[in-house]
Chain A
Amino acid sequence: MSKWHSTVSRRDFMKTIGLTGAGIGAAAVAAPLVGDLTELGASPTAGYQNAWYVKELDYETASVEIDWSIFQKWEGGTDPGAPSGSLGYNAPEDPDLIDSLQYRAGVSATLAKIQEDNRAANKPGYQIRDFALDQGSQFLSFGRGLQPLPFTGGSVTTPENLGVPRWSGTPEEATSMCRAAAHFYGSAKIGVFELTENTKKLIGSEYARFENVSEPYEDGRVKVIPNSYRWVLVYLVRQPVEMIKRYPSFQYLSHNYGYMYGPIIQERLRRFIKCLGYHAVEANQSRAPMNVGAGAISGIGELCRISHQLTPEWGPIIRYSPALITDLPLAPTKPIDSGAFRFCKDCAICGHACNGINGWTPINLEKEPTWEITGPWNRVGVKAYQFYWPRDYFCTFCQSSCPWGTHNLSNIHEMVKAIASYTTVFNGFFASMDHEFGYGRHHTDKYFNDWWDRDLNTWYDDTILH
């Protein structure tokens, strides 16, 4: 007879089975109840849910204060991204502006010398293979190499050509459908807002205007869009997280990735919408509407201290969020508040990193945001950390320093974000710890060399959909 016997009684065993079954049942009940898949697909957020700690706000608001009554659109020459010569600002009478532009030129020269010296010394990150990687990644960036298309897009086969009715459904179904298509085309997240008297101010008059016409047309540089095109489909174009952190080495490649995908995703989406039997136009890839404002209004991200868009998922390490203006009825998506803008108040790592490298940061380091603009390159009507654009070198040291711009593998990031979304008490502590724990840029020879030996079976950051 076997001497072995179980110490678990039959009663205990059945109790365990019962508890396990009850647990599974409780989990099933706790899950969101949906009548059927149609009901699930009918939600404007169907297919993509923000993290549980991200709150939704009312339409035409944002996590920053907006005063639509004084909010102004860009009027020719004040585009902050434009070369300094077209700022429309009387430079000879503004010594600060002259000093800033000269300073920016000096920074540019300093960083170029660093690149040249390191290239001559054959340092990792500046070697011929790194330079070749950079050159290869520039193909199709900003659409270079692609066939030019009118702002209405290329020709497609329409339902009319096929002798079938155009697609019809609820606006919620349309938004969900566009989200699913956009993801396949390369956009990780979309947002939608409706064009109203307020939101039309996001579109500069030098890029587009709206008229009671049946077809869009171009009036010189200005795109004329029919009033019937009432919805704006904003699509996020991401960029690899790791490669944004490697400037000024030649491994700084994320921007090329983003600007390559932007025009491609745009035309894919535009063809998709046109093939459904509707129309979609772009007025300017990133300026009309201004992509940061469009993203904030449509719930893709929030405005942050560096005047970029900061997403809860990837921080500010996204490339941009351009948009298509369409007559396909879409359900708007709500703006969000994930605590990011409130975190900026106690953080400012971006500005200090910029100061540490460039010496005279254009980033506002004040604790509180302000309505007071620094020049015509700032938007009137937004209480923000007003950015001094003439001094900006577009180097992305700020993006790569942000505590929210991390790879999303370690759960400490989600813990911090979740806590920050509910209380600001620990924000200063979290910002300090981000610095103390060494997050950010690590420009060592090993760092640059290891990229070439990364494990391609597990490396996830060479795509923008993950």
Chain B
Amino acid sequence: MWTTFSNWTVMWILIFFALGVGLTLLVVWIRSRQISVSWWEWLLGALGLVSLLVAVQNFVTGFAELEDDAAWLLLATFGVPAIILLAVPVTRIWRRVR
């Protein structure tokens, strides 16, 4: 049980560390380019990120639960909305940068 705990814990520590670094770099980059990001774009991005994390968590653990079909379906259920939610602010910011 401790091995399981440590495996999941290590995985999530790495994910959140990468997220922390990535978000910090994103904020620094937005400020340096003086890009205007509205509050609802931040909100959509946050929701998309949460949905992506939920998709990843359920996908990985679905296989651990021996529920392979559910793992793939949950990846799609939360992953597709995550992509859509993230695509809106990303494309809008991308157009502003260009």
Contact status B4-A8, CB under 8 Å:
no
Q: How far is the CB of A461 from chain B (nearest CB, A)?
A: 9
Q: Mark B51-72, 1 if CB is under 8 A from A, else 0.
A: 0001001100110111101100
Given A410-B58, A457-B3, also A437-B74 (CB < 8 A)? yes
Bound together, the chains give a CA A463 to CA B57 distance in angstroms of: 23
Q: Pick the residue among B7, B54, B58, B66 that contacts A242 (CB under 8 A).
A: B66
Contacting B3 at CB < 8 Å: which of A8, A412, A458?
A458
Which bucket holds chain B's interface residue count?
A: 20 to 34
* B38 located at the interface, meaning its Cβ lies under 8 Å from any Cβ of chain A in the complex: no
- Secondary structure type dominating chain B contacts: helix
Cβ of A437 and Cβ of B70 under 8 Å apart? yes
Which listed residue, A412, A457, A463, touches B58 by the CB 8 Å rule?
Answer: A412
Q: Hey, which chain A residues are within 8 Å of B69, CB to CB?
A: 437-438
Contact with B along A224-257 (1 / 0, CB 8 A): 0000000000000000001000000000000000
Bound Cα distance from A460 to B54, whole angstroms: 22
Q: In whole Å, how far is A395's beta carbon from the nearest beta carbon of chain B?
A: 20
Chain B residues with Cβ below 8 Å from A450 are: 66
Q: Are B4 and A460 in contact (CB under 8 A)?
A: yes
Interface size on A, residues (CB 8 A): 22
Q: Is A161 an interface residue (CB 8 A)?
A: no
- Asked if A383 is at the interface (CB within 8 A of a chain B CB), the reply is no
Given contacts A438-B67, A447-B66, A450-B66, contact A460 B1 (CB under 8 A): yes
Q: How far is the CA of A301 from the CA of B38 in the complex (A)?
A: 47
Complex CA distance for A437 and B58, rounded to whole angstroms: 12
Q: Are A411 and B3 in contact (CB under 8 A)?
A: no
B28 pairs with A410, CB closer than 8 A:
no
CB of B58 within 8 A of CB of A411, answer yes
| A410 CA / B65 CA spacing, docked (Å) | 8
Q: Are B66 and A410 in contact (CB under 8 A)?
A: no
Q: Which residues of B contact A466 (CB under 8 A)?
A: 1
Partner of A8, one of B28, B64, B74: B28
Which residue of B1, B31, B74 has the most chain A CB atoms within 10 A of its CB atom? Answer: B1
Contact partners of A38 in chain B: CB under 8 A = none
Tell me which residues across on chain A come within 8 A of B70, comparing CB atoms.
410, 437-439
**A442 interfacial contact with B, CB 8 Å:** yes
Smallest Cβ distance from A189 to chain B, in angstroms? 17
Q: How far is the CA of A411 from the CA of B60 in the complex (A)?
A: 11
Could you tell me which residues of chain B, from 12 to 62, have a CB within 8 Å of some CB in chain A? 28, 31-32, 54, 57-58, 61-62
Given A8-B28, A409-B65, A438-B69 in contact, is the A458-B4 Cβ separation under 8 Å?
A: yes
Which of B1, B4, B61 lies in contact with A410, CB distance below 8 A? B61
Question: Taking beta carbons and an 8 Å cutoff, which residues of A are in contact with B?
Answer: 7-8, 242, 406-407, 409-412, 436-439, 442, 447, 450, 457-460, 463, 466
The 9 lowest CB-CB distance pairs between A and B, nearest first, are A438-B69, A409-B61, A407-B65, A437-B70, A410-B61, A410-B58, A458-B4, A457-B3, A437-B73
21 A–B pairs (Cβ distance < 8 Å), ordered by A: A7-B28, A7-B31, A8-B28, A242-B66, A407-B66, A409-B65, A410-B58, A410-B61, A410-B67, A410-B70, A412-B74, A437-B69, A437-B74, A438-B69, A438-B73, A447-B66, A450-B66, A457-B3, A458-B3, A458-B64, A466-B1
